[in-house]
Structure 1
Amino acid sequence: MQEISKEKCKLVEELGLNVEEKHNLPPLAGRIYAFMILSNVEGHTFEDIIEITCASKSSVSTNLNLLVQLKFIEYFTKTGDRKRYFRITKNYLRITLEEYHREIDKELTLVKKVNKFNEENNPEKFKKNKNLGIIFQEYLIAQKENLELTIKKMIEFKETLDQ
């Protein structure tokens, strides 16, 4: 196992905190995921991850199982080797973008309902604040369309790699 640079350690912590907060994960799961994003190795053993994180076997096991269950990471085996190797799920970026898309879609649905409700039930308020609600609705629509385009590009890119 090679030594990890201070720069990489710092970025693992920063990225790990972001992943932890955004996906409501335990701190160790965030750090494991961040480390794997930044890794230049295709797959790490359980023992590698224990050494990298300096965490207990049970903590690493629990957090790896959580990340596998949530489809953040996956494991594979090598012929003739009984060990499992963990890596980022092949489609992790697409999965993340699809998650954002669902969140924006929910928010857009709510904003449309609020705008419609205010238009019908609070006409003075709607008239006064209409532009703000419409501006926000347009922003969400643009975000949703941008995500859809990006996901489509990722799928097309993946298809070219698979050929």
Structure 2
Amino acid sequence: MNCCSPEKRKLIEELGLHFEKAHQLAPLAARIYATMILSPNDGHTFDEIMQITDASKSSVSTQLNLLMQTRKVDYFTKPGDRRRYFRASKTYLENTLKEYLQAISEEIRLMEKVIAFNSENNKEKFEKDGHIPLMFKDYLLAQKKNLQLTIERVSEHQNN
């Protein structure tokens, strides 16, 4: 990466590793996404992204298309300039929070099934240890409520 200060390069790498795991992104997509998040709103051209990542045209194209399909990156044009400029989606935080909310909602649904099954079919186990999955469900419900409130706040901010 020949784009920036050593500090920025290090942060791009750290964010990239996180995005690989958290969003199941390919290494190049994760680093492009990290670069976009740490870049000004005026974005980067395709050629600049190729130079920053030191990756091939086809690799950058494939990964940018993936990032646009998942709404992590978007593009815009400037008057009098035919090039496209890429930047982190203005809704990337909201989209990420919604992904977390969906995952927690699914976990709550499954936890409710486990609780119902064990309370009916494993009564002894449920009487002894049933409070643990109930505490976990309460934790998940609190997380869900917190995410919903944060999503509302982010959405209100974007609409203003």
- Give the TM-score category using the shorter length: over 0.9
> Highest relative contact order (Cα 8 Å, sep 6+), 1 or 2?
2
Structure 2 residue matching 1:85: 3-state secondary structure: strand
Residue 103 of structure 1 aligns with which residue? 103
User: How many equivalent residue pairs?
Assistant: 159
Residue 66 of structure 1 aligns with which residue? 66
Residue 157 of structure 2 aligns with which residue? 157
Answer yes or no: is 1:136 the counterpart of 2:139.
Answer: no
Q: CA RMSD in A?
A: 1.2
| CA positional deviation for 1:123 | 0.4
CA distance in 2 between counterparts of 1:82 and 1:20 reads 32
Could you tell me which amino acid in structure 1 is paired with residue 55 of structure 2? A
Answer yes or no: is 1:12 the counterpart of 2:12.
Answer: yes
1:88-109 Cα offsets, whole Å, 9 max, x none, are: 1111100000010000000000
Structure 2 residue matching 1:40: 3-state secondary structure: coil
| CA positional deviation for 1:70 | 1.1
CA distance in 2 between counterparts of 1:95 and 1:140 reads 19
Structure 2 residue matching 1:42: 3-state secondary structure: coil
CA distance in 1 between counterparts of 2:79 and 2:16 reads 32
CA distance in 1 between counterparts of 2:3 and 2:99 reads 34
Q: Does the C-alpha gap of structure 1 residues 95 and 3 become closer, same or farther in structure 2, counting only changes over 3 Å?
A: closer
CA distance in 1 between counterparts of 2:151 and 2:41 reads 26
The percent identity for this pair of structures is: 55
Could you tell me which amino acid in structure 2 is paired with residue 18 of structure 1? H
1:104-161 Cα offsets, whole Å, 9 max, x none, are: 000000001100110011000101111101110000000000000000111111222x
**Deviant stretches of 4+, over 2 Å:** none
* TM-score of the superposed pair, with normalisation by structure 1: 0.94
Structure 1 spans left out of the alignment, 5+ residues: none
Q: Does the C-alpha gap of structure 1 residues 134 and 55 become closer, same or farther in structure 2, counting only changes over 3 Å?
A: same
| CA positional deviation for 1:60 | 0.7
